[in-house]
Structure 1
């Protein structure tokens, strides 16, 4: 029987600002979706999230930082939309840089752990680090 390949690995990074808010992969993905679609609802749909949930997360992000991360234009005949502010783009860039550096610095440890995982076992949900 051929050997099974090791399981794939995904690192999830969440920053808890105490007291403050949380910044993790879901909120960053939402911000990136807003940047690419120009829409809170479009970004939410892409993540299979209701508009209300997406809007609440954007509101949370806008309150968490010293300035808003997302600017929304009301709808109307021309539609409206949303975009990231310069601070919003900076937050995404810093988060992705931390994520990339964490992976790079810890690649050997991640590979070692991946080699120890039984590829036949599966978890229904990823466990937080």
Structure 2
């Protein structure tokens, strides 16, 4: 849906973005790859930056969004928790509901954006 792409919703908490489009994308990649490092590579960001974003999410909520295990014989990994999965779903639903509620206005705006 083209109109939904016009929206970027961020959930702020105590001066930081607890959840937003970049963090949701990071969570999706972590869920897919089971690794913060692999997710960072997919997004072309440093592991340090990805880890900082995960840490910020984990500090923003009252329960973990991502849990990780340190390396060993089989290497480390990361997993999006059930709570993290619920946040991803809730965020997608917020985008969908917002786009539906503002469909007419978004259509008007989209019609008048210059095509590059």
TM, length-normalised to structure 1: 0.80
Larger Rg: 1
Mapping 1:70-109, distance limit 5 Å: 70-109=66-105
Quote the Cα distance in structure 2 between the aligned partners of 1:77 and 1:47: 26
Structure in which a larger fraction of residues adopt helix:
2
Query: Are 2:29 and 1:33 equivalent residues in the alignment?
Result: yes
Gaps of 5+ in 1: 1-8, 121-129
For residue 111 of structure 1, report the CA deviation from its aligned partner. 1.0
**Structure 1 Cα separation of the partners of residues 16 and 89 of structure 2:** 18
**Where in structure 1 do 4 or more consecutive aligned residues deviate above 6 Å?**
none
How many residues are aligned here? 111
Q: CA contact under 8 A between 1:34 and 1:40: conserved in structure 2?
A: yes
Matches within 5 A, 1:45-124: 45-120=41-116
Q: Normalized against structure 2, the TM-score is what?
A: 0.89
Q: CA RMSD in A?
A: 1.3
Once residues 12 and 55 of structure 2 are traced to their aligned partners in structure 1, the CA distance between those partners, rounded to angstroms, is: 17
